[in-house]
Structure 1
Amino acid sequence: MADVWQPLRLKGFQVDPGKGLPFLSAGQVFESQPRVRKWLAAAMVPRSETRYLQPDWIMMSCSGEVGRVTAVYDEHLNKVITHDLLRIVPRDPADYGWLYAYMKTPTFFAIARSSQYGHMIKHLEPDHVLRMPVAMPDVEIRSRIGRDAEHALRMRRSARKLQAQADEIYAATINPSGVPVDDSVSSTVRASSLVAGRRRLEGQFHRADVLKVEELVRAASKTVQPLYEVVKSVTMSNRFKRYFGDNGTTYRSASELFDVNPAVTKRIHAGLLENADTYMLRPGEMIMARSGQTYGLLGRTMVLNENHEGSFGSEDLIRIVPDESKARTGYLHTVLNHVQYGRPRVVRFASGTSVPHLDPPDIREVLIPRFDSAREDEIADLSEEATRLAAEADRLETAAVKAADDAIAALTGRHGSLHLVGNDK
């Protein structure tokens, strides 16, 4: 039903941003907002034409946590993609939706995990996947499930385009003339700036590009307000000892929350923890990744939706409760998360060496530019519609995957759905 292949192993040579071929790793491909972090020297990428993706392919992880599946989105196109993902190309386009939904089911995931080999780092080869069975219920069932799965993917693509429009409007508002941002490795600052503030001796706080962005933000806006003035709270929960079990509450790590509609892999016994309610995820609130690499998830934000309600969130999140009477949630999300004019102003507060961290007292001080209500509403409308549409896409995809698993159960005579928790099958 499909061709499965993998490009040759790639040993890339990294160059300065924008001066080579944009590259995405396996983990980035699964993110809901993949962003290029590395550029590779073009002359050192053999057979570069085999490194690019097509929109009608399916991608599957083949090392580490094998068996994860994702579609190809616009953010993946025209970029060098790691060899650590198998390319699955349906031979008949009509089978795409069913194959995608089927390969997202716990049943197929169990098949993939049972085929892996290796000790510390698990692996799958194309030949392993080619031999995996594809369940084939009645054509009407496959067509219905496939249509729902493809509709969910179209909705998700539309949501990403809406947020991209919001980002473009914000960028044009901050820097209408397109003034280049200084990216030199050194900067000159006043000595007085080194004797005030919690991060006064952190070199990253005084980076030339961040200082330029701060200058643009102040010049373009009517006024600026620290984040704490336009939200109800910015907090972080304490660390806790985890008690996992099959019958517990859905648990979401920070990295999972920023992936595309991840499957439930862990459940936690929330009743065994003190103040468990403070860790629950609530629709309408914002979360920010508070640890990780400065080029990775650190400092990214997302708006929680009704799909997250009832889930238990990691303590590795900064919780931001918006105040709609002061600033709309979609506007704040765009301001804080913008790749050029937002997130660098957040990440500058990071401290630490091997794993940098952010702290609520610093995030409360991030300056929010204020414009006329029409402009802020225009940005917020697009961002909030993107959040709504993405949430609806996740629900439709989840329903399609469940329907596929139920169809497999009916076809094979298995009673009930197959659930996976961690490495248990």
Structure 2
Amino acid sequence: MALRARLSAPKELQSDWPFHHAKWTAISSSIMWGGDRRMEAENYLSGGYGIRLAMDARTSGRGRLADFARVWQPSRLKGIQVSPSYGTPFLAATQVFDMRPAPRKWLSLERTDNVADRMVSSGQILVTCSGSVGRATLAHKPHEGMLISHDLLRVDPIDEAHRGWVYAFLRSPQGRAMMGAVQYGHIIKHLEVPHVGGLPLPLPREQILADFNARTRRILELRIEAHEKARKAEEKFKSLFPSLKEPRSSHLGFEVSASTLFGTRRRLDASCFVPTVDAIEDAFAADAARVEPLHKLVVKAFAPGRFKHIYGDGGMPYLDSADILEVNPDITKFVLSLSSEEQKEYHVEPGWILIPCSGQVYGNVGHAVLSTEYHVGKVLTNHILRVAPNNKIRSGYLQCVLGHPQLGRPRVVRFAFGSSVPEIAAVDVLTAPIPRFSKKVEDELADLMESSAVARDQADELEQELATEAELLIDAFMEGDTERFVSDVVEPKLRLVGLPSGRAEGDLSYETVDAINAAHAPAGEVTVHSSL
């Protein structure tokens, strides 16, 4: 059998026992008879399990998440896909975290059950429960009116005074660690409603709750503001081209002259010559004061070379192309393999336009993001094209032109080449025509786009502060702090936290599950309340 080439040398064969060191510990067998009767070692060896034991050891000042919020999940969706003109937009779980959620599927509303349960409202707390589980976010304006995947748990506080604290708790390192400790599944991890509903939740005093609520509302306001300003700028930009006509569908086929095919890049792929882009550029020529190629408006446009990815603690934060398109992305990788001098090639400056240049044309590739202070001091992947504008054009206006969903991105995506993983070259993007208008018009659009980016950054920063403060409060609670937490939390009442009908798993709350398990525990053993 042939051996394929490897990027690195294989590990040396070990001859001395032990070949490796297993992570293990001994626990009482009675622990496995509580909750879900979990047999996976990783659930008991994780840090989240230890955090949960420490919180359960506190006999006052806490309850269960299900006592303060309704945790629920829509039934599994079997959607019937239809064309955009007939369907309702659908968002998968990961798309909900995008700065600009763009639906890729449209479903028939008449063939979709429990439609109301699949919609969300601004401020609703959503938690991923399949794949990368335990990630929480707030639904806001762009999510309204769309069908949202059942792979997101809905968390609705019973008392609005608890909303901010519940959200901060779910985003805290301890909350996420405890959710990670109760996940199940081999390849694809899952969380169920009772898993999240059964998490121990300390309850701070009213003044602290009010502070968390106010800051959560501010996060929501900033996200909505960022979305509305960007939308307003894009609508105004589109209104500047009254001559724009809707071309006939490229799916029916179209013709181009031979001289066009063999002009500059000699492209033979039809996607490079779609009539939609020609119609857009004709409107630019007809309605703009003038049109200039991008290369005259930038200092440079480049994608840095590849580097060896070695990650570890103490390295520089690393952002992938998907991260720059998300709301407050999780930074989980830190680069160790680049020296301080080498890192400079992968850094960016505020005001640059960042364009993912490798990926799928229906996904990340071709979107335009305005870099801000958030991106400074981080290593950005070589799969992001950097465009540095000169003093002839404002960054916000250039982002509006290149990133517009109807008039900008299609003109960038047309340059993609390759089959499995399409790429976009800087030399192609530099030929893109940029419509120019009066300074007043361009400044108005630039102000909207730049203030939108600032509002988005402020929301992310405030959200990170919220999680950090929740982390400190939870640490204080586990250390025995009683001043900042109520001491008379109402004991959990037996009530259904359960799952919607049609689920294979049961419809019982964590209290009922524990009661049943206790009744069936082996004789002579003590059942303890443990991870679900």
TM-score normalised by the chain length of structure 2: 0.75
Task: Determine the C-alpha separation between the residues in 2 that align with 1:340 and 1:136.
Answer: 47
Contact (CA 8 Å) 2:244, 2:279: kept in 1 or not?
no
2:329 to 262, 266, 273: 262
Q: Counterpart in 2 of 1:370?
A: 436
Give the aligned length: 413
Partner SS state of residue 423, structure 2:
coil
Code of the aligned partner of 1:198: R
> Which segments of 5 or more consecutive residues in structure 2 lack a partner in the other structure?
1-67, 482-532
Q: Find the structure with the greater CA-based Rg.
A: 2
Displacement, 1:284? 2.1
Q: CA RMSD in A?
A: 1.8
1:121 to 161, 179, 188: 188
Partner SS state of residue 457, structure 2:
helix
Contact (CA 8 Å) 1:303, 1:333: kept in 2 or not?
yes
* 1:63-83 deviations in Å (ceiling 9; x for gaps): 111011110111111111111
Contact (CA 8 Å) 1:22, 1:40: kept in 2 or not?
yes
Contact (CA 8 Å) 1:10, 1:82: kept in 2 or not?
yes
Correspondence 1:69-84 to 2 at 5 A: 69-84=136-151
Task: Determine the C-alpha separation between the residues in 2 that align with 1:68 and 1:396.
Answer: 17
Residue 379 of structure 1 pairs with residue 454 of structure 2 = no
Q: Counterpart in 1 of 2:345?
A: 278
Q: Counterpart in 2 of 1:395?
A: 461
Q: Counterpart in 1 of 2:388?
A: 321
Partner SS state of residue 63, structure 1:
coil
Task: Determine the C-alpha separation between the residues in 1 that align with 2:311 and 2:385.
Answer: 22
Code of the aligned partner of 2:454: R
- Identify if the C-alpha distance between structure 1 residues 269 and 183 changes in structure 2 by more than 3 Å, giving closer, same or farther: same
Residue 139 of structure 1 pairs with residue 206 of structure 2 = yes
Segment drifting more, 145-154 vs 367-376: 145-154
Partner SS state of residue 448, structure 2:
helix
Partner SS state of residue 89, structure 2:
strand
Correspondence 1:146-295 to 2 at 5 A: 146-174=213-241, 176=242, 179-185=245-251, 186-198=253-265, 200-272=267-339, 275-295=342-362
Segment drifting more, 219-228 vs 154-163: 219-228
Displacement, 1:179? 3.7
Partner SS state of residue 7, structure 1:
coil
Q: Counterpart in 2 of 1:422?
A: none
Q: Counterpart in 1 of 2:474?
A: 408
Q: Counterpart in 2 of 1:343?
A: 409
TM-score normalised by the chain length of structure 1: 0.93
* 1:286-330 deviations in Å (ceiling 9; x for gaps): 21111222121110111111122211111110011111x211000
Task: Determine the C-alpha separation between the residues in 2 that align with 1:127 and 1:352.
Answer: 46
Q: Percent identity?
A: 38
Partner SS state of residue 42, structure 1:
coil
Q: Counterpart in 1 of 2:177?
A: 110
Contact (CA 8 Å) 1:221, 1:369: kept in 2 or not?
yes
* 1:142-163 deviations in Å (ceiling 9; x for gaps): 3213312221221121111111
Segment drifting more, 57-66 vs 33-42: 33-42
Which structure has the higher relative contact order (CA within 8 Å, separation 6+)?
A: 2
* 1:314-358 deviations in Å (ceiling 9; x for gaps): 1110011111x2110000001011110110011000111122111
1:130 to 197, 202, 221: 197
Residue 297 of structure 1 pairs with residue 364 of structure 2 = yes
Task: Determine the C-alpha separation between the residues in 2 that align with 1:257 and 1:91.
Answer: 34
